């Protein structure tokens, strides 16, 4: 069966009360339109047409996928008008047009596949995917005659009190044969709402004795259309639960699913342990056997196997190799690379730097714009002074170096292989390999200073009291 998908995404989404176009509101890190696109991708259509409104640019920038073309519906005159706008982009395509709403992000490819095969088997010109809603709310009602034959879809606003009680509702997913597309022009303006309803197409097809079908598939949860922020919240919870369930299924241990937030698309290996209040965002991948302690956020991180990330650490757009240890209270800023068996400990910030295998920065340091070799020891309180007020400068620390505590490395500067830097040094010049660099004031011991100070104080006191007596 030849297939083209049309996603309707031009509505203004008034009910969201937001300046963001409705279909760009995110669930588990991705715009709802992207979720619909991802589901549709699995059906391998020849083409995906997205109908967008005035916010064209924002939408095209925010979503991605293959074989997508965009069609503009300048004024949102209803779902019927939106599909009509897409017809031009079909280029006389012959086959099935699958229509979906861009605001129903939980739809799965499996349900749509079953729907398409039922529709094909029945030879329908127009078919509708319906579902049973406990609370049919604002959904269009499927109206059947006494023999069960579906006659029309009535929007809630236009429904009688009896019709409102119907629990079988329209999902907004339709399969339309290309030969039936000419019926679109017969949809009349709904005066009450000033819109052309795509739902009217069904009744038009029935009245013209075209073959039609309504297939009740999928759950209320899956078919959910999002019109309000409250509904978005509900949908996000559902999706989050599904993501966590799939991870657990794959061997991840999650102590408290209710407080674990994992974006859609994040990959985690088996035997990794997630403590409560962990946030894994964007395109993040975590290896096997890792432990992620409470209050950790990883955004766009690539974490190897058996890595330990201790409490309250933040990792952004960085790579951490196997067996490394991060935190507690560490911050890996974008562009950081942490080698295997390395340790980035308490209150250490790393920015755009590479840290070699087995290197340790265990306490209170800032490492920015640096290349640090392997097996280096970076003492507590070490700072790379990378910014001179105008530009960022590089620090190079070669393999096996020992940097004493409280060292400032004034970049650009290099510390050669195997060199030592004495604690408390301010390093302004390159250190040759194997050398010891000490850059600090020489210590002076003043003998008996304390006794003299005490004597000075008592003579001062004596002087003041003798003046008072005078």
Residue 73 CB, shortest distance to ligand UD1, in Å, is: 5
**Which CB sits closer to Ca ion, 79 or 272?**
79
d(CA 1, CA 292): 47
> Residue 153 or residue 205: which is nearer to ligand UD1 going by CB?
153
Stretch that binds Ca ion, among 25-33, 102-110, 351-359, 394-402 (CB under 5 A): 102-110
CA angle 59, 107, 117 (to 5 degrees): 120
Q: CA angle, 289 as apex, 285 and 292 as ends, to 5°?
A: 65
CB of 225 to Ca ion, least distance (A): 4
Q: State yes or no: is 263 an active-site residue.
A: no
> How far is 112 from 362, CA to CA, in rounded Å?
53
**Rg of the Cα atoms in the chain:** 33
> CB of 195: closest distance to Ca ion in angstroms?
13
Is the bond into 328 cis (omega within 30 degrees of 0)? yes
Nearest to 228 by CA among 57, 28, 6, 32: 32
Q: What CA dihedral angle connects 250, 254, 259 and 260, to 10 degrees? A: -40
CA dist 396 → 277, 376, 417 (Å): 36, 11, 10
312: how many CB neighbours lie within 10 A of its CB?
Answer: 16
Question: Among 45, 225, 339, 368, which residue sits at the site for Ca ion (rule: CB under 5 A)?
Answer: 225
Query: Based on CB atoms, which residue is closest to ligand UD1, 53 or 304?
Result: 53
Q: Which of 5, 397 has the CB closer to Ca ion?
A: 5
The residues binding ligand UD1 (CB under 6 A) are: 8-11, 23, 51, 73, 76-79, 81-82, 101-104, 138-140, 153, 155, 169-172, 197-199, 225, 227
235 binds, among Ca ion, ligand UD1, none (CB under 5 to 8 A by kind): none
* Binding window for Ca ion (CB under 5 A); candidates: 118-126, 161-169, 223-231, 313-321: 223-231
Cβ closest to ligand UD1, residue 39 vs residue 372: 39
Distances (CA, A) of 241 to 27, 251, 283: 12, 16, 19
111, 220, 222, 132: which is closest to 175 by C-alpha? 111
Report yes or no: 25 and 102 within 8 Å, Cβ to Cβ: no
Residue 139 interacts with which of ligand UD1, Ca ion, none, CB < 5 to 8 Å by class? ligand UD1
Give the binding range for Ca ion (CB under 5 A) out of 44-52, 87-95, 101-109, 301-309: 101-109
Least distance CB 219 / ligand UD1 (angstroms): 14
Task: Choose between 73 and 353: whose C-beta lies nearer to ligand UD1.
Answer: 73
User: Which partner from the list ligand UD1, Ca ion, none does 369 bind, CB cut-off 5 to 8 Å by kind?
Assistant: none
> What CA–CA distance (Å, rounded) separates 414 from 418?
12
- Residue nearest Ca ion, CB atom distance: 225
Of 35, 263, 331, 363, which is the active-site residue?
A: 363
| Contact range with Ca ion by CB under 5 A, out of 40-48, 115-123, 220-228, 373-381 | 220-228
Q: Edge-to-edge strand order for the sheet containing 273-274?
A: 253-254, 273-274, 291-292, 308-309, 325-326, 343-346, 360-363, 377-378, 402-403, 420-421, 436-437
- Name which of residues 348 to 407 contact Ca ion (CB under 5 A): none
Give whole-number Cα distances, 36 to 109, 190, 375, in Å. Answer: 9, 28, 48
The minimum distance between CB 139 and ligand UD1, in angstroms, equals 4
Q: Is 103 in the site for Ca ion (CB under 5 A)?
A: yes
> Whose Cβ is closer to ligand UD1: residue 171's or residue 299's?
171
State in angstroms the smallest separation of the CB of 33 from ligand UD1.
8
The piece of 98-106, 127-135, 310-318, 377-385 that touches Ca ion (CB under 5 A) is 98-106
By annotation, the residues acting in catalysis are 363
Query: Which spans of this chain sit near Ca ion (rule: CB under 5 A)?
Result: 103, 225, 227
């Amino acid at each position: 069966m030849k297939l083209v998908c049309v996603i309707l995404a031009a509505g203004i989404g008034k009910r969201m009360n937001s300046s963001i176009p409705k279909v760009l509101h995110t669930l588990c890190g991705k715009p709802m339109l992207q979720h619909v696109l991802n589901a549709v991708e699995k059906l391998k259509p020849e083409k995906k047409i997205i109908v967008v409104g005035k916010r064209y640019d924002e939408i095209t920038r925010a979503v991605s996928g293959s074989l997508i073309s965009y069609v503009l519906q300048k004024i949102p005159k209803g779902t019927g008008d939106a599909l009509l706008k897409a017809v031009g982009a079909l280029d006389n395509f012959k086959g099935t047009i699958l229509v979906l709403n861009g605001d129903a992000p939980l739809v799965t490819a499996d349900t749509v596949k079953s729907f398409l095969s039922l529709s094909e088997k029945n030879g329908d010109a127009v078919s509708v995917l319906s579902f049973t809603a406990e609370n049919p709310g604002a959904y269009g009602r499927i109206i059947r005659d006494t023999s069960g034959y579906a006659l029309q879809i009535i929007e809630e606003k236009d429904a009688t009190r009896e019709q409102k009680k119907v629990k079988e509702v329209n999902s907004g997913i339709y399969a339309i044969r290309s030969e039936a597309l000419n019926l679109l022009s017969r949809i009349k303006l709904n005066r009450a709402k000033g819109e052309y309803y795509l739902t009217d197409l069904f009744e038009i097809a029935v009245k013209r004795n075209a073959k039609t079908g309504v297939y009740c598939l999928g759950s209320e949860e899956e078919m959910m259309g999002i019109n309000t922020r409250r509904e978005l919240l509900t949908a996000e919870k559902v999706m989050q639960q599904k993501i966590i369930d799939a991870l657990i299924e794959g061997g991840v241990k999650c102590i408290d699913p209710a407080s674990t937030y994992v974006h859609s698309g994040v990959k985690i290996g088996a035997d990794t342990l997630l403590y409560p209040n962990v946030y894994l965002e964007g395109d993040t991948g975590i290896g096997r056997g890792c432990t992620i302690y409470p209050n950790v956020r990883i955004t766009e991180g690539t974490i190897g196997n058996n890595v330990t990330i201790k409490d309250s650490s933040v990792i952004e757009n960085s790579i951490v190799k196997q067996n490394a240890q991060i935190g507690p209270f560490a911050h890996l800023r974008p562009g950081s690379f942490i080698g295997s068996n390395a340790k980035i400990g308490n209150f250490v910030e790393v920015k755009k730097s590479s840290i070699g295998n087995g290197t340790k920065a265990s306490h209170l340091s800032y490492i920015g714009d640096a290349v640090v070799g392997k097996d280096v020891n970076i003492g507590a309180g070490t700072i790379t002074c990378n910014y001179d007020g105008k530009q960022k400068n590089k620090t190079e620390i070669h393999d096996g170096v020992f940097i004493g505590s409280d060292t400032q490395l004034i970049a650009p500067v290099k510390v050669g292989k195997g060199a030592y830097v004495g604690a408390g040094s301010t390093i302004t010049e390159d250190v040759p390999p194997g050398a010891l660099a000490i850059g600090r004031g020489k210590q002076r011991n003043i003998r008996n200073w304390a006794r003299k100070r005490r004597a000075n104080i008592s003579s001062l006191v004596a002087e003041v009291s003798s003046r008072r007596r005078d």
